[in-house]
Amino acid sequence: MCGICGILRLDGAAADTRVLAEMNAAIVHRGPDSEGSMADGPAALAMRRLSIIDLAGGDQPIANEDGSVQVVQNGEIYNYRELRRELECRGHVFRTNSDTEVLVHLYEDRGPRFVEELRGMFGLAVWDSRRRRLVLARDPFGIKPLYYRQTERELSFASELKALVRNPAASRDVDLDALEAFLAFNWIPAPMTIFREARKLGAGHVLVAEDGRVTLERYSRPGARPGEPTRSGSEAEAAAELLETLRDSVRAHLVADVPVGVLLSGGVDSATLAALAAEESSERIKTFSIGFEEREFSELDLARRVAERYGTDHHELVVRPDAVELLPELADTFDEPFADSSALPTYLVSKLAAEHVKVAFSGEGGDELFGGYRTYAADLLARRVGPVAGALAPLLDRLPTSPNRRLEDRLKRFARSASLPPLERHHGWTEVFSADARGELLGGRPRGADPLAVWRARYAESEGADPLARFQDVDLGVSMVDDQLAKSDRASMAHSLEIRVPLLDRAVSELAFSLAPSHKVRGLAKKRILRRAAATVVPEEILRGRKRGFSIPAAAWLRGELQPFAREVLSPERVAREGFFEPAAVSRLLDVHVSGREDLSRQLWGLLTFSLWYERYGARVPTAA
């Protein structure tokens, strides 16, 4: 695990190694154990290393036998031993036991498409000095990040945005399309970033720069495939196959020369990983859990049951609303506005885990692959009752506030969204600011592009597949990458902790998308096949439990201990000075939430995050706007 960065001068001039050193210093937290760099005319690569495999010999960059090909990698290659044996049979000579060295030799054999052979998570760069070619690639699921900035003269890249903007020439103009997307989602989908000049390399994409030209191609696309037949066989047979597939993935992900732990919530995903890791590991597994004083949001009791059942070395932390200190830290960690509030507990549980291990498993991917979100049940229900629910929406909006605020909000959202077209409906379940609300916030400024454009492109690719599988595919290819995985990577690497996600393995994904929809969601029952597969290894109360994840009591906090902080950060004077949003619109949102008339915690969390990010990065509205 590392942080990587580099520069390629497209005009043939020598790369500026002083700028490269500044970029590398910005990501020291991703790799505090060692650093390395190389410069070869127009190209310069650098990295920071967190030692996981081949602790003594795995420093990077790593070269082939004659030094003509060099590589830096952020991530892990789980099938590197098998690949190494094949490469040695073809005459390649290895100097280390590192998984990274496999990359240079595999590139020699296969060229830029070598990444198709890899089982793992990675963001990597290969410099081929003979062809004067730079290859950048990101793993198929987008587990590891990679950003790049391209101008007429230069291409630069890094594991985090903070490294790219260390270049004095980098503009900090805000991308208004990205801002519009942030207001819709509370995160920014690839390829956009908050900066106009910087882009995210998409999951499963390879970028090749050669002879002054840059090309971008997708080499892998996990997810729904139109026309693919559903596998036959009983549900019991599918569950048994799934359990063995998960066990194989866990076994592969346990490969490390340091101890491995598990981030353990009270949900079925992490509980299954903890159980299988405890069974497959030769050492006692360490587990780490987060809880809250508000018991409705706390899963410590359930997580403790799993830890006790498997005798793990268990560690717990109770989170309190000290966001006055933590939110500015998160703004620095994520580099661009990112307002998934579960980033806060993820950040804290990663800090807890990093005190004991360098590597930990996390359960990302389970909801997308096996139908864990309540939105999937809502989608299926809306197909039957959409028109009726839509007609009831105005009536529900006029009803007085009930004691069960969360249930009421969900019913109103369902009624407003149920009769919309499929993709708009799916987005409607989780939309943060509606189009009208975005317009009010932006105060008449020219609007950005349609935030759903990335979703529409992905959705179109699965036309002909089962409707539920299409929604899962959008979530897997867009939301998971730039929300769930971005959160996990940045929150963990801020503490020099490597997160591994065994559910996001090619074999697991292929099995999941070959299952009948009813194996995943039926009525209000979600993750049916995963729960059945886990029944032999996970306590019954976890299999029956409702999903909480790492959600936080943000609504109560913003009406209580955090209200003064929110009023300071979102004051009309400060909002006006920043110049992005209408101060009166922001103040109205805060007043309505504090009054208890509506739960606007997600909207306010997003605005708080944006303001704190702006304070850190000093970005600006483009003059052309």
Q: DSSP 3-state assignment of 588?
A: helix
Assess contact for 48 and 35: CB atoms under 8 A.
yes
Among 146-160, 225-239, 327-341, 410-424, which is the least confidently predicted range? 410-424
How many C-beta atoms lie closer than 10 Å to residue 624's C-beta? 8
Assess contact for 91 and 98: CB atoms under 8 A.
no
Answer with the residue of higher pLDDT: 392 or 234. Answer: 234
55 falls in which pLDDT band (50, 70, 90)?
A: confident
Return mean pLDDT, the chain: 91
What percentage of the chain carries pLDDT values higher than 90? 77
Assess contact for 263 and 288: CB atoms under 8 A.
yes
What percentage of the chain carries pLDDT values higher than 70? 92
Q: Identify the pLDDT of residue 620.
A: 62
Among 178-182, 333-337, 375-379, 549-553, which is the least confidently predicted range? 549-553
361 falls in which pLDDT band (50, 70, 90)?
A: very high
Distance from C-alpha of 269 to C-alpha of 248, rounded to nearest angstrom:
15
Which H or E element spans position 518?
Answer: helix 517-520
pLDDT exceeds 90 at position 325: no
CA-only gyration radius of the chain, Å: 24
Q: DSSP 3-state assignment of 253?
A: helix
Q: Identify the pLDDT of residue 549.
A: 55
Assess contact for 368 and 224: CB atoms under 8 A.
no
Q: Identify the pLDDT of residue 2.
A: 86
Average pLDDT of span 54-61: 80
C-alpha separations of 323 from 292, 319, 480, 586, 600 in Å: 14, 10, 25, 20, 17
What is the value of pTM for the model shown? 0.94
413 falls in which pLDDT band (50, 70, 90)?
A: confident
270 falls in which pLDDT band (50, 70, 90)?
A: very high
CA geometry: angle 551, 557, 563, nearest 5 deg: 140
625 falls in which pLDDT band (50, 70, 90)?
A: very low
Assess contact for 121 and 500: CB atoms under 8 A.
yes
Distance from C-alpha of 45 to C-alpha of 132, rounded to nearest angstrom:
14
pLDDT exceeds 70 at position 6: yes
Distance from C-alpha of 413 to C-alpha of 406, rounded to nearest angstrom:
11
pLDDT exceeds 50 at position 582: yes
Assess contact for 5 and 156: CB atoms under 8 A.
yes
pLDDT exceeds 70 at position 491: yes
Distance from C-alpha of 261 to C-alpha of 288, rounded to nearest angstrom:
8
pLDDT exceeds 90 at position 395: no
Q: Which residue has the tokens 């569950």?
A: 239
Average pLDDT of span 164-174: 92
Give bridge partners of residue 47 from the DSSP assignment.
4, 36
> Is the torsion defined by CA of 175, 203, 451, 609 positive or negative?
negative
Q: Identify the pLDDT of residue 324.
A: 76
Q: Which residue has the tokens 């090309």?
A: 215
619 falls in which pLDDT band (50, 70, 90)?
A: low
How many C-beta atoms lie closer than 10 Å to residue 227's C-beta? 6
**Paired tokens of 173:** 């103009």
By C-alpha distance, which of 352, 347, 363, 356 is closest to 283? Answer: 356
Average pLDDT of span 409-413: 72
Average pLDDT of span 413-419: 76
pLDDT exceeds 80 at position 297: no
319 falls in which pLDDT band (50, 70, 90)?
A: confident
89 catalytic residue (yes or no): no
pLDDT exceeds 70 at position 261: yes
CATH superfamily name and code, 235-370+465-543: HUPs (3.40.50.620)
Distance from C-alpha of 202 to C-alpha of 216, rounded to nearest angstrom:
9
pLDDT exceeds 60 at position 431: yes
pLDDT in tens, 250-259: 999 999 889 9
Same topology for domains 2-174+190-218 and 235-370+465-543, yes or no?
A: no
Selecting among 2, 165, 268, 612, the annotated active-site residue is 2
Give 81's Cβ-side CA count (13 Å radius).
Answer: 7
pLDDT exceeds 80 at position 535: yes
Assess contact for 432 and 184: CB atoms under 8 A.
yes
Query: Strand 313-319 vs strand 286-292: parallel, antiparallel, or unpaired?
Result: parallel
Distance from C-alpha of 81 to C-alpha of 348, rounded to nearest angstrom:
34
Cβ-proximal residues to 14 (8 Å cutoff; 6+ apart), any chain: 39, 41, 42
Name the residue ranges covered by the structural domains of the chain: 2-174+190-218, 235-370+465-543, 553-625
Name the residue type at position 156. Answer: S
Among 111-115, 500-504, 557-561, which is the least confidently predicted range? 557-561
Q: Identify the pLDDT of residue 403.
A: 47
Average pLDDT of span 205-231: 92
Name the burial class of residue 15, with classes exposed (0-12), middle (13-18) and buried (19+) by CB atoms within 10 angstroms of its CB. buried
pLDDT in tens, 503-524: 999 999 999 999 999 999 998 8
392 falls in which pLDDT band (50, 70, 90)?
A: low
268 falls in which pLDDT band (50, 70, 90)?
A: very high
What DSSP string describes 54-117?
STTT--SSEE-TTSSEEEEEEEEETTHHHHHHHHHHTT---SS--STHHHHHHHHHHGGGGGGG
What DSSP string describes 307-322?
HHHHT-EEEEEEE---
Question: 2-174+190-218 maps to which CATH number?
Answer: 3.60.20.10
Assess contact for 365 and 507: CB atoms under 8 A.
no
Q: Report the Cα 548 to chain-centroid distance in Å.
A: 18
Give 385's Cβ-side CA count (13 Å radius).
Answer: 12
pLDDT in tens, 365-391: 999 999 999 999 988 888 877 666 656
